[in-house]
Structure 1
């Protein structure tokens, strides 16, 4: 899948690549990760990114790989769009890296009428999308958009929980900067795809174990907790 084909994520029909990675013709990487988040729903995942976890909670999220978490940009409590997550983390066996995720409106990347239809049909229950870079001071466009890669978390509610598709497009902006496919491949080696795949699967599996309880506790004024006894 190339990035211009991401509308395929709006259809729950199995894709040729649900979990794995591939080297694209321009030298960039596509990494796909399917995670079954038992007991979760899409509203919980979108809330988690609006909650903007501090370093302590970021370590709860992935107690092996996550190191630090800070936020900047639009910090309005009712949306994650416009905020930037500035983190330090490992990607499985890859040493610590400075990363930034700039959360963007899903309709920037997905065809708007198809995205809205998928939400209405319950084919999609959550969408967290953004621009990513492997630096805390990445290059940007004149209007502030981070240059690097793209991140897509598209989820669907099921009777057992949230079926989450996470797709990463790493090095997406490098060809436009004049790099050849071979040069792009040097910038984004295959080992990065392997580490990112394992990392993403682990972090959302870890998150699924704590998210339902946190969501109820932090929203108890609107969602009445159910006593276990």
Structure 2
């Protein structure tokens, strides 16, 4: 797939419904990301495993909020904190359902990396939990394809009533290979309100014990994936490139998400009805 699949065409810029929100320039990375890239691969003990994800509902922070590591089982763990002035958690909850309906929306998120997104079920409604988004994008210099299967927060043991009481949104997903039962890992974005806006705490646990064959693998599948893990670890993305990609796309979209939400979000639809 060629680079011309990136970005908006001249016609989309002239006539597309989202053209005023398309900004091909990605701003500088936030300071915590720059520091993490200088630190490079850190001790895996500083990065809790996926089994501790639900503890993110507690106040405070983990030992490392932005950085990456390789665990002893060859898994990678990539964490990223993104500061988002003016943004509410509800805006991101809306975005995750809205963006997957067409490539032009997906390209707003990261104009230098995103190529295509579509729902596996072919529907164009704006829900995301219980659905799989088929994405094509650049990770570093390489094109990657993935199936992002969104799950309710309870699937990762979050107390959903407590999240609601705290005004938080947690987006949870299994990351798989399109057309395959292989699940490469877990993806999580926690949005919690802070003074002046929100912060996103992203978590990616990929490879190693995070891999599985199917949603509820039996003994045979569990044995097979254990044998495949050494090979599968060589197919994982570079954790530094994954950190950069996440940091860029989240900060970029946050810069205009309030205006985008005001134009196309639920309130705009109610007023137009």
Q: Do they fold alike, i.e. is TM over 0.5? A: yes
Offset of 1:181 from its aligned partner? 6.4
Q: Contact 2:163–2:169 at 8 Å: present in 1 too?
A: no
**Which residue matches 2:178?**
136
Aligned counterparts of 2:261 and 2:127: Cα–Cα separation in 1: 16
Secondary structure of the structure 2 residue equivalent to 1:5: helix
Match of 2:117 in 1: 69
Deviation of the 1:182 alpha carbon:
4.5
Match of 1:30 among 77, 81, 88: 77
- The Cα RMSD (Å) is 2.4
Residue-pair matches, total: 210
Report the secondary structure of 2:252's partner residue: helix
CA shift at 1:118, angstroms? Answer: 3.7
Contact 2:149–2:175 at 8 Å: present in 1 too? yes
1:16 partnered with 2:63: yes
Cα deviation, 1:94-114, whole Å, max 9, x if unaligned, reads 411111101111101124xx3
CA distance in 1 between partners of 2:254 and 2:136 (Å): 21
Q: Name the one with the larger strand percent.
A: 1
Q: Give the Cα separation in 2 of the matches to 1:74 and 1:4.
A: 32
The match for 1:6 among 32, 49, 53 is 53
Provide the rounded CA distance (Å) in 2 between the counterparts of 1:148 and 1:104.
15
For 1:129-179, what per-residue CA distance to the aligned partner results, in whole angstroms no more than 9, with x for missing partners?
11012x322215xxxxxx221110111012211110110111111594113
From 108, 111, 122, the equivalent of 2:155 is 108
Structure 2 contact 134–178 (Cα < 8 Å) conserved: yes
Distance 1:78 1:96 in 2: 26
> Who wins on radius of gyration, i.e. which is larger?
2
Which ranges of structure 2 fall in alignment gaps of 5 or more residues? 1-47, 214-221
Displacement after TM superposition at 1:72 (Å): 2.2
Note if 1:159 corresponds to 2:205.
no
- 1:117 maps to 162
Give me the TM-score of the superposition, normalised by structure 1: 0.82
1:159-218 CA-partner distances (Å, limit 9, x unpaired): 211110110111111594113765453232xx6211110000100111102211111112
Where do 5+ consecutive residues of structure 1 fail to align?
141-146, 225-229
Alpha-carbon contact 2:99-2:105 (below 8 Å) kept: no
Q: Give 3-state SS (helix, strand or coil) of 1:88's partner.
A: strand
Whose RCO is larger (CA < 8 A, sep 6+)? 1
Alignment equivalent of 2:211, drawn from 173, 195, 198: 173
Q: Is the 8 A contact 1:83 1:102 kept in 2?
A: yes
Is residue 234 of structure 2 the alignment partner of residue 186 of structure 1?
yes
Please point out which of 253, 258, 268 is paired with 1:212.
258
**CA-to-aligned-CA distance 1:32-76 (integer Å, 9 cap, x gap):** 011112211000000001213411111111011101111123858
